[in-house]
Chain A
Amino acid sequence: MSWFSKKQSPVPMPDSERTVKTEGLWQKCDGCGQIIWRKSLEDSLHVCDKCGHHFRIDARERIRLLIDEGTFEEKDAAMATSDPLSFVDSRPYRDRLKSMRKATGMQDAIVCGHGQMQGRPVEICSMELKFIGGSMGTVVGEKITRSIERCIAGRVPLVIISASGGARMQEGAVSLMQLAKISAALMRLDEERIPFISVLTDPTTGGVTASFAMLGDLNIGEPGALIGFAGPRVIEQTIRQKLPDGFQRSEFLLKHGFLDAVVPRSELKSYIAGALGFFVGN
C-alpha cells in the first residue's frame, strides 16, 4: 500500500518544464491576453481571432502559406558560414551555430528558392528569426544575392520575407558588407525592371531594414510588426524617455510614408500575386 500511494504522489516538475508543457498546447495572445488553443491558432494562420494579433511564424511556414503546394524548390540549403572572425564570446560562435542548427534544422537564418504563387513563378527568400535572431551574416547575404542573380537570369520576380534583428555581430564587418552586396544586386534587379516585393514582418530592424527590406518596389508590412532602424531600447537609452504607443509599428511606418500597405496574413498571398500581375502580367 505504502509503495502504491508513494507512486501516486506527483513528482514535482521543474517550472521550466511545466511552461514548456503548457506552451505545447496553449498560447497566450500578446495582443489581448486571450489563451488560445494552439491547434486553432494553426488553422487561423497564427492570427488571433479575437484581436487580430499576428503571431511570429517560422521561415518554412511562411513559404507554405505563400507558395503553391508542391512547387517549392529550395536552393543553397547546405550553405554554411566559415566563421570568418573565429568569434568567441561567452562561448565559441561555432558551438552556438551547432546548437542553432540542431534546434532549427537549418544551416543558417534563411530559406531561399523557387516556387509558384497562384501559378506565377517567383524566387522567394524567407528569414528565420529563431536562428540567432534572424541575423544577417555571410550566408544570408550570399543566399539573397544568389536569389537576385537567379531572378535576373530567369526574369523571375523576387519576394523577400524579412524577420531579423539586423546584421550578425559574430561575423563583424563581413556581415556589415552584406548590406552593400545585396543592395548592389538589387540595383541590377532594378535596372532589369524585375519586380521586388519586400514583406516586413515582426520584427525587422537594423541592417536588414537599412538595406534590402526598405528597397522593395513595394514595401509591405504585416499588421503590428516592429520595423525600424534602431531598436526601441537603443532609442529609449539615447533620448532617455519612453517611446509613444505604436512607435515603429507597421501602421506608424504606413502613416509616415515608408510602407505601401499593411496587409493581413490571410490576404498576403493574393495581394502579392495581384501586384505581380500588375507589374509583369499581360
Chain B
Amino acid sequence: MNPSWARVQLARHPKRPHSLDYINKIVEGFQELHGDRHYADDAAIVGGFGFLAGRPVMVIGQQKGRDTKQKLIRNFGMPKPEGYRKALRLMRLADKFRRPILTLLDTPGAYPGIDAEERGQAEAIALNLREMARLQVPVIAIVIGEGGSGGALGLGVANRVYMMENSVYSVISPESCAAIIYRDASHAAKAAEALRLTPDDLLKLGLVDGIIPEPGGGAHEDPDGASVALAAAATHALDELSQMDGPSLAAHRYDKFRQMGSFFSE
C-alpha cells in the first residue's frame, strides 16, 4: 500500500476520534448550540461554546458517527446547507462578542442529495467562504480526519490551518478521482498518490501552516494523547493570534489565502 493511500485509511479509521471526542476531552463546560434559524439543526455539524485551557472559544466541527445508528443520524459526516448556515451563525455570534473560533474539519464532503441542492448547498458553502474571510476574530482550523473538498473548506478559511498527522485534505476523493481518470474506482490508491493529499504534501505546497503529531500508531490508538496534542497546538495559536486586532486578523487571513497558487506568465 502506498503511503498516501495508507494515510487515507488512517484518516477514515473507524476508531479515530471525531469532533465531539476532541471537544469533550479538551473544551471545558462545552454547551452545544443548535440550528440555523432558517430550516433545521444539522447533526453533521456540531458547534458551541466553552473554554480551551481557560480561554473562551467557539468550537465548530463536522461530526461523523461511530455505530450504524449514529452514522445515520450524523449523515456520515456529510453536512447539508443548514449545517453550513448553523456554522456561519455561530461564527458571527463569536465575532459579535469578540471570541475566537476553532473549527475541526472531518467530512467526506458536503452531502450530494436532492434536498441539499434544493436548499442551496453551493450557496451555503460559498457564503461561508466569503464571510469567514470577513471575521475580525482569530480563526483556527484543524483537519482531524478527512478534509473532503469544498465541504471541508466551508469551515476552513482560518488564520492558522493545521492538519493532524494522519489526516488528508483533498479537492476530490481518491475514489471519485480514480473513477474519472481510470474509469475505475478500484484505482483509488494510485489516485491518492497523484492528488498529494497528505499533511506533508499540503505543507510543501504552502497550503497549511503545520502538522500536529499523533502519538504512537495514530490518534485511534491513543485519543487522549491526540487530544492533548491538538489542544496544545490550538492554545499556542490562540495566544499568538490574540496579539492582533480585528482588522489585522482579517488582513492576515486574506493575505494567507491570497498567495496560494502556482503559475507563471511567459
B95, chain A: closest CB distance, angstroms: 13
Q: How far is the CB of A137 from chain B (nearest CB, A)?
A: 9
Report the number of A-B residue pairs with Cβ-Cβ less than 8 Å.
191
**Alpha-carbon distance between A243 and B262 when the two chains are bound, in angstroms:** 38
- For B57, what are the chain A residues with a Cβ–Cβ distance below 8 Å? none
Q: Is A37's beta carbon under 8 Å from chain B?
A: no
Asked if A238 is at the interface (CB within 8 A of a chain B CB), the reply is yes
CB-CB under 8 A from B197, the residues of chain A are: 172-173
Question: When the two chains form their complex, are residues B262 and A177 in contact, meaning their CB atoms are under 8 A apart?
Answer: no
CB distance from B117 to the nearest CB of A (A): 5
B62-70, B170-178, B213-221 - the one binding chain A:
B170-178
Q: Closest residue of chain A to B253, judged by CB?
A: A184
A169–B191 Cα distance when bound, in Å, is 10
CA distance A266 to B169 in the complex (A): 43
Task: Report A-chain residues with C-beta under 8 Å of the C-beta of B170.
Answer: 172-173, 176
B10 within 8 A of A: no
Tell me how many residues of A have a C-beta within 8 Å of chain B: 63
Q: A81 contacts the other chain (Cβ, under 8 Å)?
A: yes
Q: Give the CA-CA distance A191 to B113 in the complex, in Å.
A: 33
Residues 63 to 97 of chain A near chain B (Cβ within 8 Å): 76, 78-85, 87-90
Please name all residues of chain B whose beta carbon is closer than 8 Å to the beta carbon of A213 when the two chains form the complex. 122, 126
A176–B152 alpha-carbon span in the complex (Å): 10
The verdict on A180 contacting B122 (CB below 8 Å), with A87-B194, A172-B195 known, is: no
> Most A CB atoms within 10 A — which of B196, B201, B260?
B260
Q: Assuming A142-B261, A184-B133, is B117 touching A207 (CB within 8 A)?
A: no
Nearest B residue to A231 via CB reads B112
Among A139, A176, A210, contact of B126 (Cβ-Cβ < 8 Å): A210
Q: Is A32 an interface residue (CB 8 A)?
A: no
Assess whether A275 is interfacial by the CB under 8 Å rule.
Answer: no
Bound complex: CA of A190 vs CA of B126, how far in Å? 14
Contact (A173, B117) CB under 8 Å given A179-B150, A183-B133: no
A90 to B254, CA, bound (A): 36
Asked whether, in the complex, the Cβ of B194 is within 8 Å of the Cβ of A210, the reply is: no
B262 lies within 8 A of A175 (CB)? no
Q: Which 10 A-B pairs have the closest CB atoms?
A: A230-B112, A183-B129, A184-B133, A84-B262, A209-B122, A229-B122, A229-B121, A89-B181, A214-B126, A176-B171
